[in-house]
Amino acid sequence: PRLQSRNQETTSTKHTIFMTQDSSPGPSGFLYQTYRCDLWRGFFDGALSAGAQTFSLFIAIRYYSAGEGIKSLIAGAPFMGMILSLLLVHHLSGKGLKKSACGAWPSVITGICLIVAAWAPSLELFALAVIAGYIFRGALLPFLTSIYHDNYPHDQRGFYFSKPLLMTVGISGLFGYVGSSLLEVSLNYYNWLFTWLGVCGLAKAWAIYSMPSQTLEGKSHDHPFGNLKYAVQDREFGYVLLTWFIMGFANLWILPLRVDYVASSTYGIEASPLMVALIITIVPETMRFFFIPFWARLFDQMNFVVLRMILNVLFGTGIALFFMSKNLMVIGAGSALIGISFAGGSIAWSLWVTKYAPPGRVTAYMSVHVCLTGIRGTIGPMIGYWAAAQIGTTMTGWVSCGMMFLATALLVPEIKRGRRPPPTS
């Protein structure tokens, strides 16, 4: 009876911490309010994600007949925003601003820009507004990660982050379907589609601003790129960043080539539009949705370096399967593995810095990680297309796979450090 009573008390306590609507200062109030606001953020960000991945380029191509230069800038806008995040963190540090405010204002700019794009009278204004909007959407990420570090328990960050991520993935797919159906009726409906995207940007800003947060830390340097010094001063952080750059570059330069491989007649596959959508989007996104909770538990419980190595191997195997055959079943299996890997990669990418950065430096560390992602995301596809022209898409896929396994091998010496306790200074 005593054990039963204690178990009931523990269950009741956990339930109270998770379900209470108390927003007063303290772990339980901050945790719940952050989690609740982040669910709303994930909901509105799902629509914005669909806008970045599908509708911005679609309207530029089909409605405005945009050229290659404008299409490239629109596609690269989110990665440009990641590079900008390093400068934004530097500029806002030490100004006495709350992290939630620093994360909210870029989203306000995103919302306004997308509403302007909705009613732009020319391709140039449409492109400028969309590019600016998605640049600022990518620039706020370090502030969010820092809020997660402050408000979520270190051994449950993956759990609490995974639910809003599921919301983002689910809403992105749903909004993509609804928006595509609307544009099938008439391309002129894009005005209202982008107006809604702008409203989602403003609503996302409200959700972030409502999160309880601390004041943004001060800066310890005067140079706008000064945060990059942490990649050198913190040897373990810098080494993992190096392996991540190799893996991430190998992943990002091959992503656009997947469409060419299954859709182009050059490789003898020339799949139907429905099959292309199934292999490139539906299969991997479905697998990503279902495997996010699984990877969230592993992120909280297991050695992070081992987890990163497992994800690298899965990514590499998925890419090898995708490009080793012309059989659509084999290609589909590779696409499914890539989707499973992205489920874990999304969580690890967003939260791993919280395992390495000391208190007071999470935003700065994350700005370095996000900036380097932006660099490889901006130049990766261009180099990927160049490599495919030189050695062929299939061989480029195999090179990408080899880089994945190289990044994995480089992490072996770091395994013993992957279980280190949360930094305290």
Percent of the chain with pLDDT over 70: 90
pLDDT-derived band at 316, boundaries 50, 70, 90: very high
Mean pLDDT for the stretch of residues 180-203: 91
**Residue 290 clears pLDDT 90, i.e. is over it:** yes
Distance, CA of 289 to CA of 346 (rounded, Å): 11
Distance, CA of 315 to CA of 281 (rounded, Å): 16
Greatest mean pLDDT among 35-44, 215-224, 225-234, 254-263 lies in 35-44
pLDDT-derived band at 258, boundaries 50, 70, 90: confident
User: Taken in order 337, 292, 77, 374, is the CA torsion positive or negative?
Assistant: negative
Mapped onto helix, strand or coil, the DSSP state of residue 216 is coil
pLDDT for 102? 94
Token look-up 């030490």 returns 94
pLDDT-derived band at 186, boundaries 50, 70, 90: confident
pLDDT-derived band at 110, boundaries 50, 70, 90: very high
Mean pLDDT for the stretch of residues 223-242: 89
pLDDT for 273? 64
**Residue 215 clears pLDDT 70, i.e. is over it:** yes
Residue 194 half-sphere exposure toward CB, CA atoms < 13 A = 29
The pLDDT tens digits of the residues spanning 31-59 come to: 899 999 999 999 999 999 888 767 888 88
The pLDDT tens digits of the residues spanning 68-78 come to: 788 878 888 88
pLDDT-derived band at 145, boundaries 50, 70, 90: very high
Identify the residue with better confidence: 219 or 318.
Answer: 318
Mean pLDDT for the stretch of residues 236-247: 93
The pLDDT mean for the chain works out to 85
pTM: 0.84
**Residue 99 clears pLDDT 90, i.e. is over it:** yes
**Residue 418 clears pLDDT 90, i.e. is over it:** no
Residues contacting 382, CB < 8 A, separation 6+: none
**Residue 18 clears pLDDT 60, i.e. is over it:** no
Mean pLDDT for the stretch of residues 122-140: 93
pLDDT-derived band at 10, boundaries 50, 70, 90: very low
Mean pLDDT for the stretch of residues 20-24: 39
Token digits of residue 231 = 């990649």
pLDDT-derived band at 11, boundaries 50, 70, 90: very low
Report angle CA 166, 175, 341 to the nearest 5 degrees. 35
